[in-house]
């Protein structure tokens, strides 16, 4: 059974663009993790909130 993990992160003011740029470099490596299925990142322009939704084959492989 797969598991969906939701992470809600509030980024320091003015740092969200920098974080999103960093993620474009780092996230492709996530696809190499055993048990990883997918990740989506959501961010609205008028907030400092970033939401990560990742899917894994099981909770054990996520940990």
What are the pLDDT digits (tens) for 15-33? 999 998 998 888 888 888 8
| CATH number for the domain that contains residue 38 | 3.30.70.100
Output 54 or 27, whichever has higher pLDDT: 54
pLDDT at 45: 86
This model's pTM is above 0.85: no
How far apart, in whole angstroms, are the C-alpha atoms of residue 59 and residue 56?
7
> Number of structural domains, the chain?
1
Sheet holding 36-43: strands in order across?
3-10, 49-56, 36-43
Domain residues for the domain of 25 are 3-58
CA–CA distance, 46 with 29 (Å, rounded to integer)? 29
pLDDT(7) > 90: yes
């Amino acid at each position: 059974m797969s598991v969906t993990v939701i992470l809600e992160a509030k980024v320091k003011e003015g740092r969200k663009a920098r974080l999103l740029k960093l993620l474009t470099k780092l996230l492709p490596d996530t696809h190499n993790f055993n048990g990883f299925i997918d990740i989506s990142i959501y961010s609205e322009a008028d907030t400092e909130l970033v939401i990560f939704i990742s899917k894994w084959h099981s909770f054990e492989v996520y940990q």
